[in-house]
Structure 1
């Protein structure tokens, strides 16, 4: 059980690592168009992301699939940028009218990409482990807890901005999405394949 909690902690810290803030940016972009009224939808999307993220880790841990790290390092900021761009495209539509099926598929695909970004390190951790399922479940649990925490913070910021500061929802989504895109541009430049 101690091993399980070690990996829960590792998953939690993996997402909340401000040195590697790409995960936080992605979740912020994912949650931006939503409000507390639709918190279940964004948590479902985060869970889809967690499952896909851990699926790519499992593929790596069991030596089923290896990917080009350089390409993945570039694709991670691409997923963040595209998610924020998606917000801008639909900024004048109600967030619930955005197709959850399409949103879910995109989130799953992006989760696979993000998982492969951590897969080499995770494979090294798993090299000596006979039981790979317990660490994967622990890691997934830590990721899910931290993602829900980030989503609640973003929804809280949205609530304060829209209800107390009287910022219109469309303006909030636009401002936060553009800010996320601007923060992501240096990541895109730094990881662009040479």
Structure 2
């Protein structure tokens, strides 16, 4: 197996793994307001998040940017809580469930997408902690960094797809209301994030 394939798999299984549940919960909260028919908006959100975490993953892995691990691990649940707060505030609004027509070039310039990009900066630092442990003393691991990031993206897209399919099953198969789905998912994600944050602050 080549170096690229090795780090591609490592990136994929780093996020597509229950041990990465903080990142999984963030993706769950990020996608909670949307259904499968909103795939364009979800794609814009995921793209924004990707741009953010790819930037800090590269900067931190190459040694250009460094922040304390404890701070990063505390900020990740904060990103989940803020995402859930936005979901709860906007739950059931017509403007959210039926987005207005907008020009294609403006699709990324929305508050949720801007927040996703900003939160991606924090999650990228979290990804980099794991990658730097794998790399050891390598100073310019450009190929490894690229492969790991691609692996993370593949895993992330698969997770998002599964979340949207689960939402489709609950909404159409079980007849749940969209607003109820959003409230329950966002509330559950916020509860998990609060526990994570308290554990980080208390050192539990």
Normalising by structure 2, what TM-score? 0.86
SS for the counterpart of 2:150 is helix
Aligned CA RMSD, in angstroms, stands at: 2.1
Deviation of the 1:95 alpha carbon: 3.8
Return 13-22 or 70-79, whichever deviates more: 13-22
Mark the runs of 5 or more structure 2 residues left unpaired by the alignment. Answer: 101-106
Please point out which of 129, 135, 143 is paired with 1:134: 143
C-alpha contact 1:57 1:116 (8 A) present in aligned 2: yes
1:121 maps to 2:130: yes
Deviation of the 1:174 alpha carbon: 0.6
SS for the counterpart of 1:66 is coil
1:67 maps to 2:53: no
SS for the counterpart of 2:63 is coil
What does residue 162 of structure 1 align with?
171
Mark the runs of 5 or more structure 1 residues left unpaired by the alignment. Answer: none
Deviation of the 1:128 alpha carbon: 4.2
Return 56-65 or 122-131, whichever deviates more: 122-131
Deviation of the 1:2 alpha carbon: 1.3
Structure 1 CA distance for aligned equivalents of residues 33 and 162 of structure 2: 13
Return 26-35 or 99-108, whichever deviates more: 99-108
C-alpha contact 1:70 1:193 (8 A) present in aligned 2: no
Deviation of the 1:173 alpha carbon: 0.4
1:108 maps to 2:117: yes
Normalising by structure 1, what TM-score? 0.90
C-alpha contact 1:51 1:140 (8 A) present in aligned 2: no
Please point out which of 132, 138, 152 is paired with 1:143: 152
Structure 2 CA distance for aligned equivalents of residues 20 and 144 of structure 1: 14
Structure 2 CA distance for aligned equivalents of residues 139 and 96 of structure 1: 36
Check 1:95–1:2 CA distance in 2 against 1; reply closer, same or farther (3 A cut).
farther
